[in-house]
């Protein structure tokens, strides 16, 4: 297999937020401002905003248990044509009900008909939305640190605007 | 939690319209439920209780919990044999209605006028 050299990721922004419900809107707005004009289409930007809001909400609620003193960490990087947003909490491997943890919690593919028939909770759309909004998603755990990686592919056309 | 969602309900012949504004998230549960109750109560004297129109033209944010609230409204309406349609969704939220399959059960209209006129309630 041919090895392709990957460019070193360029950090575009990094910030933390207290784990308070509603702060996902702050993450959404700041990430949107950071990536604006960097080659994402309007539709892709809207998708990324939704994914960032959902992932941050999960980190606040499931990862850090709504404990404001434990920050959610957000980092935005660009590597080649990819923009990646990494959202980290301290939920480790054992998120209670952690949707962003494959294999943990009450992760079940949402089925609208089951929900309408009362056979599944109306909730449980978070991870489903994230997966369907981004071009790639990954989840890593290092000790207590749990990170979800959201990647969007840009058109490349506007890369140099902010260099 | 303080709700950033507002709902106005009005009844037209054959349909009740719930005009939503602001953010449809977890904090909107009470607002949406109350609006649905008002819509159902206000249209109780109508000969045709068939349709509830959810207008999202003034909504700027819907999250997964908001989707769950819409699912709950749809489930209740289906149990009561009412039709639910939606209007005024942005392209992004129309996409979300598509991928969640909400649009299989909720007919989408570009705006409230077209929803009302095509429902024959103008």
Measure in Å the smallest separation between the Cα of A114 and chain B Cα atoms. Answer: 10
Q: Taking 50 as the threshold, does the pLDDT of residue A106 lie above it? A: no
Contact criterion met (CB below 8 Å) for B89 and B56: yes
Chain B residue at shortest CA distance from A128: B100
**ipTM of the prediction greater than 0.85, yes or no:** yes
The predicted pLDDT at position A102 comes to 47
The predicted pLDDT at position B3 comes to 74
Q: pLDDT-based confidence at A125, cuts 50/70/90?
A: very high
User: Which residues of chain A does B1 touch, with a Cβ-Cβ cutoff of 8 Å?
Assistant: 21-22
Which residues neighbour B76 within 8 Å (Cβ) at sequence distance 6 or greater?
B36
Average pLDDT, integer, range A108-113: 92
Number of structural domains chain B divides into: 1
B119 touches chain A (CB under 8 A): no
Residue-wise pLDDT for A44-80, tens only, equals 999 999 999 999 999 999 999 999 999 999 999 999 9
Q: Give, for all 122 residues of chain B, the pLDDT tens digit.
A: 567 899 999 988 778 999 999 999 999 999 999 999 998 887 666 655 679 999 999 999 999 999 999 999 999 999 998 999 999 999 999 999 999 999 999 999 999 999 988 876 54
User: Which residues of chain B does A46 touch, with a Cβ-Cβ cutoff of 8 Å?
Assistant: 90-92
Who wins on pLDDT, A161 or B15? B15
The 3-state secondary structure of B34-88 reads HHHHHHHHHCCCCCCCCEEEEEEEEEEEECHHHHHHHHHHHHHHHHCCCEEEEEC
For residue B117, is it within any domain?
A: no
Q: Which of B25, B71, B77, B89 to mutate to test the interface with A (most CBs of A within 10 A)?
A: B71
B68 touches chain A (CB under 8 A): yes
Who wins on pLDDT, A128 or A6? A128
A11-156 CATH pick, 3.30.565.10, 3.30.2320.50, 3.90.440.10, 3.40.1280.10? 3.30.565.10
CATH number at residue B14: 3.30.750.24
């Amino acid at each position: 297999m041919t090895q392709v050299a990957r460019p070193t990721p360029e950090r575009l922004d990094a910030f933390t937020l207290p784990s308070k419900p509603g702060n996902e809107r702050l993450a959404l707005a700041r990430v949107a401002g950071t990536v604006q004009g960097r080659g994402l289409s309007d539709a892709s930007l809207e998708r990324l905003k939704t994914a960032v809001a959902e992932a941050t909400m999960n980190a606040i609620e499931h990862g850090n248990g709504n404990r404001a003193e434990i920050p959610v960490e957000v980092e935005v990087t660009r590597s080649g044509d990819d923009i990646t947003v990494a959202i980290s909490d301290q939920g480790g491997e054992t998120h209670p009900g952690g949707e962003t943890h494959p294999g943990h919690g009450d992760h079940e593919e949402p089925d609208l008909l089951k929900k309408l028939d009362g056979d599944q909770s109306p909730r449980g759309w978070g991870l489903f939305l994230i997966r369907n909004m981004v071009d790639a998603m990954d989840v890593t755990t290092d000790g207590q640190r749990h990170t979800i990686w959201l990647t969007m592919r840009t058109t490349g056309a506007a890369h140099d605007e902010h260099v | 939690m303080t709700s950033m969602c507002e709902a106005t309900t009005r009844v037209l012949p054959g349909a009740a319209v719930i005009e939503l504004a602001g953010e449809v998230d977890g904090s909107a549960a009470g607002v949406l439920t109350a609006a649905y109750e008002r819509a159902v109560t206000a249209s109780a004297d109508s000969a045709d209780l068939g349709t509830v129109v959810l207008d999202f033209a003034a909504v700027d944010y819907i999250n997964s919990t908001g989707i769950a609230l819409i699912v709950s409204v749809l489930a209740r309406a289906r149990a009561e044999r009412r039709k639910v349609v939606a209007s005024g969704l942005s392209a992004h939220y129309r996409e979300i209605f598509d991928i969640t399959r909400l649009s299989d059960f909720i007919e989408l209209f570009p705006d409230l006028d077209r929803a009302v006129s095509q429902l024959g309630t103008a």
